[in-house]
Structure 1
Amino acid sequence: MWTEFSGSPRESFRLPMTDITTINITEKQLDLLLSGLRYVKSAEKLRVEEPTTDYVRTRTEKLNEIKHLVDTLNSSPRKQSAAQV
Structure 2
Amino acid sequence: MLRRAPTTITLTQTDIEQWEQDRKRKVQEAQQKLENEQRNAQSANEAKAKQKSKKDHVLRNREDFWVGFMRTWRLSLVEPSNRRQ
Q: What's the TM-score, normalizing by structure 2?
A: 0.34
| Higher relative contact order, structure no. (Cα contacts within 8 Å, ≥ 6 residues apart) | 1
Bigger helix fraction = 2
Higher Cα radius of gyration? 2
Q: What's the TM-score, normalizing by structure 1?
A: 0.34
